[in-house]
Amino acid sequence: MEDLKKKIREIPDFPKPGILFYDITTLLRDGQAFRDAISVFVERHRGSNISAVVGIEARGFIFAAAVAHELGVGFVPVRKPGKLPYRTIRKSYSLEYGSDTVEMHADAVQPGERILLIDDLIATGGTARAVAELITECGGEVVEIGFVIELDFLRGRELLKDFPVFSILQYPA
């Protein structure tokens, strides 16, 4: 995993002073590193009867769609409000200052389906928690919530304690 970690570019003071941004575009640009990251998720779930892979806008789409393709299952996008064309269900969640909302098509997850949820990064866990709740409200089972990067110091796993969580890379360790 250290090889993958070397592919993440760290950008200080982005998008605002005091924030250290972990840029995955350098990992995505490296064909072998991108393939290796996808393979980690695929090998964890090959043969585990996943029904679909749910990806969170926007960077989660990149990883979730590739994993779904490799597993031979469907991909379900979760987006910000107003971006999906059909009837949606939504979940709002708290941010440090305010709130945000995510939406999914109302028929995207069926009762009894086994769902792998993937995003690029977990910080506080609020977005992933909201999406996992949407999945369970539809009757789906969240088999695992997977992340490429986990910011340990923000303790997002605590908010996701009701779900299995996996991350490929942990920071700052």
Q: Which of 35, 44, 46, 59 is catalytic?
A: 59
Q: What is the CATH T-level fold of the domain 2-171, as seen in this structure? A: Rossmann fold (3.40.50)
Q: Which of 2, 87, 96, 158 is catalytic?
A: 96
Q: What is the pLDDT of residue 2?
A: 84
Phi and psi at residue 116, in whole multiples of 5°?
A: -100, 125
Confidence of residue 62 (pLDDT cuts 50, 70, 90): very high
pTM for this one? 0.96
CA–CA separation, 25 vs 90, rounded Å?
29
- Establish whether 29 is a catalytic residue: no
Confidence of residue 1 (pLDDT cuts 50, 70, 90): confident
Query: For 58-118, what is the HEC assignment?
Result: CHHHHHHHHHHHHHCCEEEEEECCCCCCCCEEEEEEEECCEEEEEEEECCCCCCCCEEEEE
Confidence of residue 151 (pLDDT cuts 50, 70, 90): very high
Give yes or no for residue 97 having a pLDDT over 90.
no
- Establish whether 59 is a catalytic residue: yes
Alpha helices in the chain (DSSP H): 2-5, 25-29, 31-45, 59-71, 126-137, 156-159
Q: What's the whole-number mean pLDDT along residues 100-117?
A: 98
With a pLDDT cut of 70, the percent of the chain lying above it is: 99
Q: What is the pLDDT of residue 58?
A: 95
> Domain segments of the chain: what residues?
2-171
